[in-house]
Amino acid sequence: MKNNRIIKVVCRNSKLSLLQVKELFSLFPLLKYELAAIQSFGDKNKHISLMDAIDADFFTRELDWAVLNAEADIAVHSAKDLPYPMPSGLELYCLTEACDKTDALVGKNKMKLSELPAGARVGTSSQSRREELLNLRPDLTVVAVRGTIEERIALIEKGDIDALIVAACALKRLGLDYLTAEVLPFKTHPLQGNLAVVGRKGNEELKSLFSAHDVRRKYGKVILVGFGPGNPDLLTIGGDKALAEADVIFHDDLIDKEFLNRYSATKVHVGKRKGKHSHHQDEINEHLYRAALSGRNAVRLKGGDPMIFAHGREEIDFLKSRFVEVTVIPGISSGIALASYTHIPLTHRGISSSVAFVTGHSSKKSNIPAADTLVYYMAGENISNIAKDLIASGRDAGTPAAWVCDVSLPGQKTFFTTLKELQFSVIKHSAPVLVIIGEVVAFENKTAGEQNILATGTACPEYRGQGNITHTPLIKVERNKSPDVDRLLKQSTGSYRWIVFTSRYGVRFFFEILDDIRLDIRSLGPAKIASAGKTTTLELKKYHICPDVESETESAEGLIRYFEEINLSGSKVLLPRSNKGLPYLSEALAQTGNQVTDLPVYNNLENETAEKVDLTQFQKIIFSSPSGVEAFKKIYGELPEGILLVARGKTTENSIKKNL
């Protein structure tokens, strides 16, 4: 384009905007232009408070339309007013150097912020300035103001406000900076003070006329790179090249540090692990932005893939809204690597035609995808809730599952289980855990029989055939021979409406006591029988009793749910149990107006002769009761990491979690 061409320019119809155009073209003295000043939507509607949610193009819409409709060649904006993303068909031609990025305080007698009396009225049009102000002076009154800078300053002269917060660059451009009482220590908009030249996409000749003063020429670039699941061999060639050319690398916690030493860039650790964050995400964003502003090429190195549960889009938006160039180099996501390293296919003809990646931080039923195969990331702490909700949503409790830790690394471990077992399972592991659920797991869980399982309860018949069982009972049970138990039963004839059994031992010792004191269960009243699960029911059948209700969850939780559904109230309930039985069942029944008798028919004791075994040989440890968990801790010191801890019921699961 020849320099003698007249460029059609559009800007807002205010003194400040006109001065901004003049300032811009002072940088390009050889360019000629003609100017049209128009009112934007924001200028026409000063009754709308900027403290409220407003459209991103509140101050730019009409100007951009003029450019898109070829009524103007370029629009000149305050850069902080630009919408993100920009309207289709437009692009930023030039972003000038900011003359000043600070906020200033203007007020009567040039009083500083610390000198303003409590309750003083301070005007601002920005929600962020309001928050910054009240953070320093919560005793001040914030007043939302609108209008040109001159109109806002006039509010002080009229006594409507005592002070005003305004961009220092606006005061300077208007020649009013002498009114500044002080520069405020506020965090301001990143584009405050910059001017933006916006034009139609594709007009490279016109765009080139403004390139000499485009501050973005000094910016560095940011590349988001996926490192993969942990094994450096899985880093892509593109990722390796980006790391080799980087000036600074912001890396996650699980990246191989020795491998990073081959690159000369400055390394900055910004990792997150199990809720412990070295940096919050907004701090990481700011680090990337500052690196680009300083002209350095930065790599944000992430485990897995930058766009899968990795805040990749947040970083892209943060940087692109500030006009920093961002590119992304994909990595192998751990959910993909899991399939290769375990040989469990994510899809398979006739079995699974769909797969979903799901964050393990949420187990809401409404968030469960309708996919054949589910891969849960970061699932360790929430796996039991995930399994419960999947079953509640219709998934078969027998659906095979596998949990995998340290995918692709030498210490990778894979453990096979089912949804039913996962309902009350706990995983203690410092590294991220993935769980894959679906029929495809059956291709590999045929090897589940090779797993070594440590059973710590008094018996473990239900685990026969599931692996190599080592049975080391950590507790022993003995009948409670206290005469108080016998006396209570003799005095209770004809009074109970429900007898609730929570274990096989409760059944066994209850009937043993009845036999010794020569009582029949029918003498206790027209009682209905409740069983905590199949094992308890099998024990009852030995005494020719079929329970009226059996817990669907193999635990007392299912019984509580049942009694809530039938609105059981005002009934006498007998609860034969151990001396260490937790009170939550009896408390739940009592809260609904029932009279509960806790009957300790047996004692739950630590097994002093329990053998201590090498835990590294096991993939699962089965706990049958909270007392078993307590006994385990006495013997081993703490619950182990990297082993699936399986509980028989919610109460035992809670005990495991409490002792992690």
- Tens of pLDDT, residues 431-441: 778 999 999 99
CA distance linking residue 122 with residue 130, whole number of Å? 9
Q: Is the pLDDT of residue 464 over 70?
A: no
Q: Of the residues 314, 332, 350, which one is the last residue of a structural domain?
A: 332
**569 within 8 A of 592, measured Cβ to Cβ:** yes
**100 within 8 A of 64, measured Cβ to Cβ:** no
Q: β-strand 433-437 against 373-377: which pairing, if any? A: antiparallel
3-state secondary structure of 365: helix
Residue 444: inside a domain: yes
Q: Please indicate, yes or no, whether residues 61 and 204 belong to a single structural domain of this protein.
A: yes
Q: Is the pLDDT of residue 138 over 80?
A: yes
Return the beta strands (E) in 472-531 as ranges: 475-479, 498-501, 528-531
Confidence of residue 430 (pLDDT cuts 50, 70, 90): confident
Residue 230: inside a domain: yes
User: What length does the chain have?
Assistant: 660
CA distance linking residue 98 with residue 188, whole number of Å? 12
Q: Please indicate, yes or no, whether residues 74 and 209 belong to a single structural domain of this protein.
A: yes
Residue 1: inside a domain: no
pLDDT of residue 222: 98
Identify which has the larger pLDDT, 267 or 427: 267
CA distance linking residue 252 with residue 272, whole number of Å? 7
Of 359, 351, 224, 362, the C-alpha closest to 299 is: 224
Active site residues: 252, 272, 378
Angle (deg, nearest 10), helices 556-565 and 584-591: 10
Q: Please indicate, yes or no, whether residues 229 and 298 belong to a single structural domain of this protein.
A: yes
3-state secondary structure of 593: coil
Residue 189: inside a domain: no
Q: Check residue 218 and give left, alpha or beta (phi > 0: left; psi -120 to 50: alpha).
A: alpha
Of 597, 605, 604, 602, the C-alpha closest to 481 is: 602
Q: Please indicate, yes or no, whether residues 32 and 83 belong to a single structural domain of this protein.
A: yes
Q: Is the pLDDT of residue 463 over 80?
A: no
Instruction: Identify the sign of the CA torsion 283, 285, 291, 294.
Output: negative
Residue with structure tokens 């809530």? 564
Q: Is the pLDDT of residue 100 over 60?
A: yes
Confidence of residue 447 (pLDDT cuts 50, 70, 90): low
Helix (H) or strand (E) holding 60: none
Q: What domain count does the chain have?
A: 6
Helices (H) then strands (E): counts for the chain: 21, 33
Residue 569: inside a domain: yes
CA distance linking residue 548 with residue 545, whole number of Å? 9
Q: Please indicate, yes or no, whether residues 458 and 370 belong to a single structural domain of this protein.
A: no
- pTM exceeding 0.85: no
Q: Please indicate, yes or no, whether residues 654 and 584 belong to a single structural domain of this protein.
A: no
- The predicted model gives 194-216 an average pLDDT of 97
Q: Which value, in Å, is the radius of gyration of the alpha carbons in the chain?
A: 35
Q: Is the pLDDT of residue 427 over 90?
A: no
pLDDT tens for each residue of 518-560: 888 888 888 999 999 888 999 999 999 999 999 877 778 888 9
Residue 555: inside a domain: yes
Q: Of the residues 272, 304, 332, which one is the last residue of a structural domain?
A: 332
- The predicted model gives 25-48 an average pLDDT of 95
- The CATH number given to whatever domain includes residue 559 is 3.40.50.10090
Q: Please indicate, yes or no, whether residues 93 and 199 belong to a single structural domain of this protein.
A: yes
Domain encompassing residue 430: 335-450
Q: Please indicate, yes or no, whether residues 530 and 555 belong to a single structural domain of this protein.
A: yes
- Residue 424 has φ and ψ, to the nearest 5°, of -125, 35
- The one-letter code for the residue type at 469 is I
CA distance linking residue 70 with residue 382, whole number of Å? 57
pLDDT of residue 462: 62
Helix (H) or strand (E) holding 331: none
- The one-letter code for the residue type at 84 is Y
pLDDT over 90 percentage in the chain: 70
**95 within 8 A of 79, measured Cβ to Cβ:** yes
Residue 537: inside a domain: yes
Confidence of residue 306 (pLDDT cuts 50, 70, 90): very high
Which of 432-436, 640-644, 648-652 shows the lowest per-residue confidence on average (mean pLDDT)?
A: 648-652
pLDDT of residue 283: 95
Residue 489 DSSP label: H
Q: Check residue 59 and give left, alpha or beta (phi > 0: left; psi -120 to 50: alpha).
A: alpha
Q: Of the residues 279, 300, 332, which one is the last residue of a structural domain?
A: 332
Q: Please indicate, yes or no, whether residues 554 and 617 belong to a single structural domain of this protein.
A: no
6-12 β-sheet, strand order = 32-38, 6-12, 74-78, 195-200, 90-95
**389 within 8 A of 379, measured Cβ to Cβ:** no
- The predicted model gives 457-481 an average pLDDT of 81
If one counts every other C-beta atom within 10 angstroms of the C-beta of residue 658, the result is 9
Helices assigned H by DSSP within 566-616: 584-591
- The one-letter code for the residue type at 480 is N
Residue 307: inside a domain: yes
Q: Please indicate, yes or no, whether residues 441 and 348 belong to a single structural domain of this protein.
A: yes
- DSSP line for 637-657: SSPPSSSEEEESSHHHHHHHH
- The predicted model gives 199-218 an average pLDDT of 97
| Structure token pair of residue 222 | 């940011």
**467 within 8 A of 420, measured Cβ to Cβ:** no
Q: Is the pLDDT of residue 493 over 80?
A: no
Q: Please indicate, yes or no, whether residues 178 and 295 belong to a single structural domain of this protein.
A: no
3-state secondary structure of 616: helix
* Exposure string for 583-595, b = 16+ CB within 10 A, e = fewer: eebbebbeeeebe
- The CATH number given to whatever domain includes residue 71 is 3.40.190.10
| Structure token pair of residue 314 | 């947040």
Angle at 123 between CA 119 and CA 124, to 5 degrees: 130
- Residue 308 has φ and ψ, to the nearest 5°, of -125, 105
pLDDT of residue 459: 75
Q: Please indicate, yes or no, whether residues 114 and 248 belong to a single structural domain of this protein.
A: no
- Residue 652 has φ and ψ, to the nearest 5°, of -70, -35
